[in-house]
Amino acid sequence: MPVTLHDLARKLGVSVATVSRALSGAPGVAEETRRRIVEAAEAMQYRPNVLAQRLQKQRTDTIGFIIPTFGPRFSDPFFSELLAGIGNEAAVHEYDLLVSTRPPGEEEMIAYERMVQERRVDGLLVVRTRRHDPRIEYLQSHHFPFVAFGRCEAEEPFPYVDVDGEAGMYRLTHHLIAKGHRRIAYITVSDALMFSHYRIQGYRRALEEAGLPFDAELIVEAGMSDEEGFRAGQALLRREPPPTAIIAATDLIALGVMGAAESCGVQVGSDLAVAGFDDISLASLAHPPLTTLRQPIYAIGQTICRMLLERILQGTIAEPYRLLQPELIVRASTDFVYPSE
Amino acid sequence: MPVTLHDLARKLGVSVATVSRALSGAPGVAEETRRRIVEAAEAMQYRPNVLAQRLQKQRTDTIGFIIPTFGPRFSDPFFSELLAGIGNEAAVHEYDLLVSTRPPGEEEMIAYERMVQERRVDGLLVVRTRRHDPRIEYLQSHHFPFVAFGRCEAEEPFPYVDVDGEAGMYRLTHHLIAKGHRRIAYITVSDALMFSHYRIQGYRRALEEAGLPFDAELIVEAGMSDEEGFRAGQALLRREPPPTAIIAATDLIALGVMGAAESCGVQVGSDLAVAGFDDISLASLAHPPLTTLRQPIYAIGQTICRMLLERILQGTIAEPYRLLQPELIVRASTDFVYPSE
DNA sequence: GTGAAAGCGCTAACAG
DNA sequence: CTGTTAGCGCTTTCAC
């Protein structure tokens, strides 16, 4: 049986109120009394019952993070780093982090409703936003504190951190054009995902500005895995004539493309340029190393967590809209000049 | 202001006890009364306050998972899949999952003490066990429910799921020997990690049984990242004579080794065999595809979670010690015969 | 400076 | 079958 405030109070011959005050550092306790209480608490190994504290305070001291869609073979190198950033930041502020998945076969919104309506958490982090995002609409309509990683096409503004995928892909495409490429293919993921929507726009803008035709044959949509990238890459390499460069919406997909090139006997880094987005750690170790756009995932995790705590604790966020610029990392997979036709 | 049991009771002219019973499905409520209550609850959008329920029941309905050591650039493709398994299983049983990291600069045990002593969770999942594991000793001494992924050299037995790394590496090494290799190098990680300890033992046993000498020159210790694998691979390839095969303790390391081979102009799949352990999704897409030992990570996550819930709910676990056999997946990185000397 | 007492919202024993 | 009551362990007025 754990020691309670009551036990301590009885032992010391004071009231529970005094003990509570002394331990919480509230004013109005004689220094001498406080000392005695703190000492006894130490000696008796007193630990507050967080459940009781929470019920009384009507706060959970917990933030929530609902992991976006999940299959058995979900594997995202990206995700662990984001979680590390969030988790560490939460821990620093002594907040618990509740992680939830959508149980197999369950509606996604149910997880959100549980969190919000049953008040399991004080605030939520939303990631991988969609253009029209019911989660965000729901949270807004319930005035529930949240911060998103990613923007979305919502009526009301909301606090977010995002990486400027449009600008990033623009610069990357521009880089490829400067290297002499004219047939630049693009592997996109679902346009319903906000980041995907922005990224492909950057690609299109760069083509336009360079006066290059937009060729629907060179656009393929794939799922967000290396396996899917492999398939999409193969499909693109069968085009006639084939592209001389392939941009993938994510590094994971780009790694799949490199596998596909290998399987087709195409040499990445001389016959074909390949580039991705994210700069996962494997990008620099691929053969050849992969050109990509780096986003500071760990720092983003920290930032969205800190912003959410700001919102919860102070009711407002000093700098609620943050758009970060990704850094173009040119590596051997694109660092060669393609001979002009 | 959310609707409480009290509000409902007053509205319906019954007592809170009756409402509580009706909603929880407890016996002893007239069918007609129950119907009225359930209807009203629905209509008024009643949601139980989980904090109050927990305080009263003295259970948190939450399990905890403390993520092992974490740097800013922590990135483990492996980990997201494990978390998916755990999270989905917890959700199915309506348990919350509390994920905690060790805040930067804090002792690891502090996170465990918080969880246990402040009763934030009903049980814990421990992963990446160490030979001598203070976390496990601590949990045992406090009689706190937990299940581990991995064994350890503890006095008292404890429930775990593990993959037989010794047997796996034995079979893999045997496979390489059968392919004609005689100089088989091994990249290990810290021997303090239980899985690492077992894996290298399988390698040694296979060498012994084949009558091959054990050459300390061919063993290198590395950290658990692709970058470290790259460095270790380079070091091994500089040996004189170099190994004809390299086994890495993990796939991530093996991928780094393949990068190193590339950088040294060594052809993996003909000059050099490389193999790993885990079967992460990138293994099959490497160039050439990587031979490895597959462990069913998602299923392991589900299983340790289910076992923990069994322990919490029933006090005991039907099958508390589970040792799974990894599956040897032979791919092109080792699937060639090395000419005998 | 300290104590008594009233809850936070819920469950469960005990009566009726 | 239903209501009354007593907590779960803590914080926080309000008196003294």
Domains of chain A: 5-48 (1.10.260.40), 62-163+297-325 (3.40.50.2300), 165-295+328-334 (3.40.50.2300)
Could A100 and B92 be called an inter-chain contact, meaning their C-beta atoms sit closer than 8 Å?
Answer: no
In tens, the pLDDT along A168-215 reads 999 999 999 999 999 999 999 999 999 999 999 999 999 999 999 989
Q: Residue B32, CA: closest nucleotide via C1'?
A: D1
Of A87, A103, A285, the CB nearest to B101: A87
**Contact call for B286 and A120, based on CB within 8 A:** no
Residue B107: pLDDT band (50, 70, 90) is confident
Nearest by Cα to A283 from A330, A237, A335: A330
The string of pLDDT tens digits covering residues B148-202 is 999 999 999 999 999 999 999 999 999 999 999 999 999 999 999 999 999 999 9
A80: closest CA of chain B, how far (Å): 6
Best mutation target, A75, A255, A290, to test chain B (most B CBs within 10 A): A75
pLDDT band at A157 (very low <50, low <70, confident <90, very high): very high
Q: What is chain A's mean pLDDT, rounded?
A: 92
Å between B104 CA and nearest CA of chain A: 7
The model's pLDDT over B235-267, given as tens digits with 9 standing for 90+, comes to 999 999 999 999 999 999 999 999 899 889 999
Task: Please indicate whether residue A281 or residue A159 has the higher confidence score (pLDDT).
Answer: A159
Which of B128, B187, B119, B176 has the alpha carbon at shortest distance from B152? Answer: B128
Over 60: is that where the pLDDT of B45 sits? yes
Q: In chain A, what residues touch B72 (CB-CB under 8 Å)?
A: 81, 84-85, 298-299
Which chain A residues in 7-46 sit with Cβ < 7 A of strand D? 16-17, 20-21, 23-24, 26
Residue B92 — φ and ψ, nearest 5°? -60, -35
Give yes or no for CB of B101 within 7 Å of strand C: no
Q: How far is the CA of B60 from the C1' of D2 (A)?
A: 30
Instruction: Check if residue A284 sits with its Cβ under 7 angstroms from strand D.
Output: no
Angle at A141 between CA A136 and CA A142, to 5 degrees: 100
In B238-272, where does DSSP find H-type helix?
Answer: 251-264
Q: Which single residue has its CA nearest the C1' atom of nucleotide D5?
A: B17
Tell me the pairing of strands A245-248 and B219-221: unpaired
Contact A74 B80 (CB under 8 A): yes
pLDDT digits (tens, 9 = 90+) for B87-106: 999 999 999 999 998 776 77
Question: What's the rounded Cα separation, in Å, for the pair A316 and A334?
Answer: 44
Residue A103 token pair: 């149980």
Q: How far apart are CA A100 and CA A87, in angstroms?
A: 14
Give the pair of three-digit tokens for residue B228.
């470290």
Kindly identify which residue of chain A lies nearest to residue B78, measuring between CA atoms.
A75
